[in-house]
Amino acid sequence: MGIKQIIAIASAKGGVGKSTVCANLALHFSKSFNVGILDADIYGPNQHILFDLLNEKPEVQMLDGKKTFIPVKIGNISINSMGFILDSDKAAMWRGPMLSGAIKQLKDLTQWGDLDYLFIDMPPGTGDAYLTIAKDIKPNFAILVTSMSILAVNDTIKSKVMFDRLKIPLLGLIDNMSYSICPHTDERINEFDLINLQQEIGLDVLGSIPRDKDLTNFNSKKIHPSFQSIYNNVLNLL
- Residues making up the binding site: 12-19
Q: Are 225 and 215 in contact (CB under 8 A)?
A: no
Among 17, 12, 15, residue whose Cα is nearest residue 155: 12
The nearest distance, CB 162 to ligand ATP, in angstroms, is 15
Between residues 18 and 48, which has the closer beta carbon with respect to ligand ATP? 18
Task: Report which residue's Cβ sits closest to Mg ion.
Answer: 19
Please choose, from the candidates 207, 146, 116, 110, the residue with its C-alpha nearest in 3D space to the C-alpha of residue 14.
146
CA end-to-end span of the chain: 17
Of 4, 5, 33, 44, the one binding ligand ATP (CB under 6 A) is 44
Residue 22 vs 170, nearer CB to Mg ion: 22
**How many other C-beta atoms lie within 10 A of the C-beta of residue 174?**
29
Is 99 a binding residue for ligand ATP by CB under 6 A? The answer is: no
Q: Min. distance of Cβ 122 from ligand ATP in angstroms?
A: 8
3-state secondary structure 84-122: HHCCHHHHCCCCHHHHHHHHHHHHHCECCCCEEEEEEEC
Q: Could you say which of 176, 197, 203, 208 contacts ligand ATP (CB under 6 A)?
A: 176
Is residue 225 part of the contact set for ligand ATP (CB under 6 A)?
A: no
Closer residue to Mg ion in complex, CB, 18/48 = 18
**CA-wise closest residue to 79 among 91, 69, 92, 67:** 69
* Binding flags for Mg ion, 11-30, as an x/- string (CB under 5 A): -------xx-----------
Amino acid identity for residue 21 in this structure: V
Return residues touching ligand ATP (CB under 6 A): 14-20, 41, 44, 46, 124, 176-177, 209, 211-212, 215-216
Return residues touching Mg ion (CB under 5 A): 18-19, 46
